[in-house]
């Protein structure tokens, strides 16, 4: 179990620790993009105030105390000394303003999800259990409009208006994953990248795919939706590994 010390005047400490662990493990899995990607976590009931990574800080160095607090309705935050990246503000600010159910949001340009996003047909067929996890639970954006500044961020947010769809495959861009908690969202991010890798590697064989029926794929997705405590245990184990290595992520 992660041992954390509450910092003076530092609220939402456990949420910060969980988010910092997710940053560290995302870097370890090589699912980040230099210093260009971002995660956020809402910390008020309306979802408009959120924690996120500092501008241009590498995921592998982020600590709980480094995370900045942002108000999606206060654009003056872009003028401050701890201003977020403008595209992070545009994408995550738009998401937290327009999608109250998106408590946590993780955006990466991970290799296999981005390859999938680059195909003319970016759908993910249910060819195995991991792929079936996302059956009828993702949206493909086919109208990429450039860097995710404010207007583009609002457009992307509208694509996630259905609470059942928690993955936005951003055509020609990457992927955005949403969820209720850091653990749930990171777990979904991890498995989407694994599913995309399986599909891309299967395509590379050039052989016919064995695709599950819609009925079996939906049944599998529902069973995994309800699988007890998987996401929480996943993140807890990752934090235990980081703790055992003496990582400073929880500082």
Q: How confident is the model at residue 9 (pLDDT cuts 50, 70, 90)?
A: low
- Looking at every residue in the chain, the average pLDDT score rounds to 93
Higher confidence at residue 14 or residue 154? 14
The predicted pLDDT at position 89 comes to 86
Q: Is residue 8 part of a domain?
A: no
Write a three-state SS string for the chain.
CCCCCCCCCCCCHHHHHHHHHHHHHHHHCCCCCCCCCEEEEECCCCCCEEEECCCCCCHHHCCHHHCEEEECCCHHHHHCCCCCCHHHHHHHHHHHHHCCCCCEEEEECCHHHHHHHCCCCCCCCCCCHHHHCCCCCEEEECCCCCCCCHHHHHHHHHCCCCCCCCEEEECCCEEEEEECCHHHHHHHHHHHHHHHHHHHHHHHCCCCCCCCCHHHHHHHHHHHHCCCCHHHHHHHHHHHHHHHCCCCCCC
Q: 124-148 pLDDT, tens per residue?
A: 999 999 999 999 999 999 988 777 6
Q: Assess if residue 7 is contained within a domain.
A: no
Q: Is the residue at 223 inside a domain? A: yes
Asked whether residue 134 is assigned to any structural domain, the reply reads yes
Residue 6 counted as domain residue:
no
CATH of the domain at 135: 3.40.225.10
Residue 4 located in a structural domain: no
pLDDT-derived band of residue 4, with 50, 70 and 90 as boundaries?
Answer: very low
Could you give the strand order of the β-sheet that contains 38-42, starting from the edge strand earlier in sequence? 68-71, 49-52, 38-42, 104-108, 174-179, 167-170, 138-141
pLDDT of residue 82: 74
pTM of the model: 0.93
Domain limits at 34?
13-244
Give domain status of residue 111, yes or no. Answer: yes
The confidence band for 10, taking pLDDT boundaries of 50, 70 and 90, is confident
In a domain, 198, yes or no: yes
The encoded tokens of residue 227 equal 């699988």
Domain count, the chain: 1
On the question of pLDDT at 34 being above 70, the answer is: yes
């Amino acid at each position: 179990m992660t041992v954390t010390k509450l910092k003076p005047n530092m609220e939402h400490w456990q949420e910060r620790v969980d988010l910092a662990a997710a940053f560290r493990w995302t870097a370890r899995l090589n699912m980040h993009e230099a210093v260009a990607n971002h995660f956020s976590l809402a910390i008020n009931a309306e979802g408009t105030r959120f924690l996120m990574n500092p501008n241009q800080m590498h995921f592998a160095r982020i600590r709980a105390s480094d995370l900045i607090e942002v108000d999606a309705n206060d654009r003056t935050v872009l003028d401050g000394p701890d201003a977020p990246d403008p595209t992070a503000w545009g994408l995550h600010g738009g998401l937290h303003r327009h999608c109250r159910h998106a408590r946590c949001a993780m955006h990466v340009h991970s290799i296999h999800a981005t390859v999938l996003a680059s195909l003319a047909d970016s759908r993910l067929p249910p060819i195995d259990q991991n792929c079936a996890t996302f059956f009828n639970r993702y949206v493909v954006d086919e109208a990429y409009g450039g860097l995710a500044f404010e207007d583009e961020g609002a457009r992307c947010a509208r694509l996630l208006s259905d609470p059942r769809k928690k993955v936005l495959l951003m055509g020609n861009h990457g992927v955005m994953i949403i969820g209720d908690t850091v653990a749930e969202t990171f777990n979904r991010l991890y498995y989407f990248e694994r599913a995309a890798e399986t599909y891309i590697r299967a395509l590379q064989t050039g052989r016919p795919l064995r695709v599950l029926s819609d009925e079996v794929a939906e049944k599998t997705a529902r069973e995994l939706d309800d699988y007890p405590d998987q996401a929480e245990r996943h993140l807890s184990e990752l934090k235990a590994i980081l703790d055992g290595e003496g990582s400073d992520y929880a500082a």
